[in-house]
Structure 1
Amino acid sequence: MAATGSHTGSRRVIFAALAGNLAIAATKFAAFALTGSSAMMTEAIHSTVDTGNQGLLLLGLARSRRPPSSTHPFGHGMEIYFWAFVVALMIFALGGAVSIYEGVLKIQRPEPIGRAWINFLVIGLAALFEGGSFLVAWREFRVLRRGTPFLAALRRSKDPSIFAVLLEDGAALIGLAIAALGVAGSAWLGVAWADGAASVAIGLLLVLVAVFLANETRSLLTGEAAAPRIVEAVRAMLAADGRVDDVAEVLSMHLGPQEILLGVTLDFRDDLTAVEIEGAGDDFAQAIRAIDPRITRVFVRSGRARAAYARPPPD
């Protein structure tokens, strides 16, 4: 049930961003055609890339919900991490790099901005749309945040379909402010290169967002563990049980935003029978799943099994 609710929240965030960015991109391109503003062109590219990114995240969500198969026995939950990584690459290449390139050209060959009021009108409308999309993502993120500091919560979040949209929309709002400064500097203050400089600044902002997003999804793609609080809660519960002499290891890995694989190796008391050990394993698996609903697969083995597994093969 928790997973279903999370998927619903993720889809709501993405659809809100998709609708907003699609309308904003068309408006910005029209403004660029009428005024020739480099910053507005950069913002139009930014919104177009964001629109495509939301489509990729929806694709990732859909593919991640496919059931397990013989080739993917643990399911396809990590698909969302792959597509979020693709989104990071698109932000870097099509958003950041292109914006910087366009800005450098404008700095070298500045052109006057005509009808600057159109740019400001579009920037104001875009801020309203982006702000609405950001609020939807922020509400979902706040539920997951649970009072944790913002940056720490971003790093701990395992759902890129939410934090990627949050970062994109946040960067978009900052980018709009930068674009407004560039247009004002070029059109009203006579600083010809201001529009191009704004484009470069927006591009650098997008590069930073892309690098952060790529690093976070890289960690998830390569087998990131569950949050320390979950691992410690599991370890404490097992250590407190009288049937366990020692908790040898607690291993975990995220198979998706709402799926955690958890394996424990235990040294049981020597006086326990095989039937009692088997019963304890079943009890522990049920208790571990109760700690966090995202723990969907639990493997319990005894310390003796671990020692046998670690023994090197005979020559």
Structure 2
Amino acid sequence: MTAKQGDEQEPNGSESLLTVVVAAGVNLAIAVAKVVAGLISGSAAMLSEAAHSFADTVTELLLVVAVRRGARPADESHPFGHGKSAFFWALMAAGATLVVGAGFSITHGVQTILYGEELGDLRVSYVVLAVAFVLEAVSFLRAVHQIRGEARRWRISPRDYVGFTADTAVKAVLFEDAAALAGILVAAGGLLGYQLTGSAVFDGAASVLIGLLLLGVALSLIRANASLLIGQAAPVMLRDAIGAELDARPEVVETVELLTMMLGPNDILVAAKVDFHHQYTGDRLEEAADRVERAITGKWPEVSHVFLDPTPGHAARRRIAEADGTS
């Protein structure tokens, strides 16, 4: 037995798309400015920051693809929809951050530490970093705003929401913008260290640290998306709530088994073996199952598919065993 996907999923997907588009536009503008500043100053940290912003731009373009492809409706070839394609493209985006951003920054930073460098005028670099910090903060606050709104809807803290959400697009923007803000401060520290000491080690070390920040973000997002692609269950909080709803229904004796899977960022499959009261047979059983299904999808619009399998519970199995023993 199945239910149609809830209408409330589309607005959340649209909001995620807006969050990603804002982040992509901001990062592209910042990347160009950082390249110019990096070429003028010759700073490894500035060029690493430029690579960081270009990597973020590529990442967010892939996340746009993820959001749009994941929102495509179900068809004959994909009866459960295309939600998992969002996880695939988000995984590719995390890989881009790992290769383009972290790889370049660490490699360039190590070369600077080993072979040294002489920096030029750093005033442009400081201005670009200051403007970049403001723009990255705007993108970051946009992601935080969405996360707070979703957290209120689930009645949990924003931190807990970030931990369990399958909306990897907005999670990626949040993590990458946070890393970008930290990276800008690190780059500024590297430039200042060079100015105070004349040693390129500070600039190179800043570049390496920026790469390590990107590495941490990329690995975290790769792990999250890989788990979702494999077939991750719905958050424990939601599974427990659905189980409690099933057990509380007057038609149900007990829930024998409850399975869930994330089909997309806001698309959940529920499959349950349920022991219905013995008076529900034939048409009455179908009507009872339909009521239970509608109760679940009405309370959680994210649940797009519900499969209920009438299964004898412990008490029913004991009755069957006793009846078999006396016959």
User: Normalised by the size of structure 1, how large is the TM-score?
Assistant: 0.93
Identity %: 36
Whether 1:129 and 2:143 are equivalent positions in the alignment is no
Shift of 1:130: 0.6
CA contact (8 A) 2:280 2:288 kept: no
Whether 1:104 and 2:110 are equivalent positions in the alignment is yes
CA contact (8 A) 1:253 1:260 kept: yes
CA contact (8 A) 2:249 2:292 kept: no
Question: Secondary structure, in 3 states, of the residue corresponding to 1:296?
Answer: strand
- The 4+ residue runs of structure 1 with deviation greater than 6 A are none
Question: Structure 1, unaligned stretches of length 5 or more?
Answer: 306-315
- 2:164 paired residue among 139, 156, 166: 156
Whether 1:53 and 2:59 are equivalent positions in the alignment is yes
Amino acid at match of 2:32: A
Structure 1 distance, partners of 2:244, 2:41, is 64
Partner of 1:69: 75
Partner of 1:223: 231
Partner of 2:311: 303
Shift of 1:269: 2.3
**More displaced stretch, 62-71 vs 275-284:** 62-71
Structure 2 distance, partners of 1:34, 1:271, is 81
**More displaced stretch, 173-182 vs 155-164:** 155-164
CA deviation map 1:153-199 (0-9, x unaligned): 32201101101001111100000000000011112332321000000
Shift of 1:29: 0.4
Partner of 1:115: 121
Shift of 1:151: 4.5
Whether 1:190 and 2:220 are equivalent positions in the alignment is no
Shift of 1:304: 5.4
CA deviation map 1:78-136 (0-9, x unaligned): 11111111111111111112110000000011112111111111100110111111111
Question: Secondary structure, in 3 states, of the residue corresponding to 2:274?
Answer: strand
Question: Which of structures 1 and 2 has the larger relative contact order (alpha carbons within 8 angstroms, sep 6+)?
Answer: 2
Structure 1 distance, partners of 2:46, 2:264, is 37
Partner of 1:264: 272
Structure 2 distance, partners of 1:196, 1:39, is 6
Partner of 1:212: 220
- 2:186 paired residue among 171, 178, 183: 178
Structure 2 distance, partners of 1:243, 1:9, is 38
Change (3 A) 1:214 1:301: same
Question: Secondary structure, in 3 states, of the residue corresponding to 1:191?
Answer: coil
CA contact (8 A) 1:260 1:294 kept: yes
Structure 1 distance, partners of 2:310, 2:157, is 39
CA contact (8 A) 1:112 1:186 kept: no
Question: Structure 2, unaligned stretches of length 5 or more?
Answer: 1-6, 314-327
**More displaced stretch, 288-297 vs 226-235:** 226-235
Shift of 1:148: 4.0
Shift of 1:149: 4.8
Partner of 1:19: 25
Shift of 1:245: 2.2
Structure 2 distance, partners of 1:148, 1:185, is 42
Question: Secondary structure, in 3 states, of the residue corresponding to 1:188?
Answer: helix
Partner of 2:93: 87
CA contact (8 A) 2:269 2:304 kept: yes
Amino acid at match of 1:66: R
Question: Secondary structure, in 3 states, of the residue corresponding to 1:297?
Answer: strand
Structure 2 distance, partners of 1:286, 1:201, is 52
Question: Secondary structure, in 3 states, of the residue corresponding to 1:225?
Answer: coil
Structure 2 distance, partners of 1:252, 1:299, is 10
Shift of 1:264: 1.2
Question: Secondary structure, in 3 states, of the residue corresponding to 1:194?
Answer: helix
